[in-house]
Amino acid sequence: MKHNINFGLLSLNARGIRTFEKRKALFQWLNKDKADIIFLQETYSMVDVENIWKSQWKGDLYFAHGSEHSRGVLILIKERLKFELKSCMHDNEGRFIILKANVQEQPFVLVNIYAPNKTSEQCTFFQDIQNELESLNTEAECDMIIGGDFNVILNPEFDGLGGKPKLKESVKIIDQIRPSFNLIDIWRIRNPDVKRFSWRQKNPVVQRRLDFWLISSSTHTVIFKELF
């Protein structure tokens, strides 16, 4: 039975935080924000920065490293959050990280992703995610949260503006993952007719919603803080 679950989530494409000034400014802003769990994509992290970054954040950091100029995902946990890590796994490309943890005494699987751009690579990537999730040994009451930059749209009518928005072949795999784990696009559930975008091109004007939170349908009524 779920109880006392009340935490906030934030996902952000950081576009590189290797420079001290940018990382300091971002960490300070995140510390003031009400989110308790933060998913970052495109951190450009490598093994050499782990100890430095950990010393600059009050809480826990979990890395999947990319290169100095691309990829890299990071999950940040606020110190104030009751959080007990069970396991952590990630790929070697800096595109996903999967945590099993107890959050406020409730079992969760947290998945931060940064999907490739090319459709063929996306198909392989999302299939890998599905395989990893299916291999997890989770409790029956375990909830799941998948967030980050999917680099696809799920609904051409509402998730795209300008150009010719269409569904990619890789979305079929996402459509397999969602019912398999009883996941919902929570932002769209809460905003059924709203057009809001996370990626923009100025000339010509093209906008897309490429960032999502897919969460267990049983969870959306008990995570009370706003999802970003």
Digit-coded pLDDT (tens) for 211-221: 999 999 988 76
Give the residues across from 184 on adjacent strands: 215
Is 125 a domain residue?
Answer: yes
Q: What is the pLDDT of residue 228?
A: 52
CB-CB neighbours of 206 under 10 Å: 16
Give the pLDDT band of residue 6 (cuts 50, 70, 90): confident
Is 67 a domain residue?
Answer: yes
Q: What is the pLDDT of residue 140?
A: 79
Digit-coded pLDDT (tens) for 68-123: 999 999 999 999 999 999 999 999 999 999 999 999 999 999 999 999 999 999 99
For 170, the domain range is 9-216
Is 1 a domain residue?
Answer: no
Is 18 a domain residue?
Answer: yes
Q: What is the pLDDT of residue 52?
A: 97
Is 3 a domain residue?
Answer: no
Q: What is the pLDDT of residue 137?
A: 84
What's the CATH code of the domain at 204?
3.60.10.10
Give the pLDDT band of residue 141 (cuts 50, 70, 90): confident
Burial of 198 (0-12, 13-18, 19+ CB in 10 A): middle
Among residues 80, 1, 9, 34, the alpha carbon closest in space to that of 223 is found at 9
Q: How many domains does the chain have?
A: 1
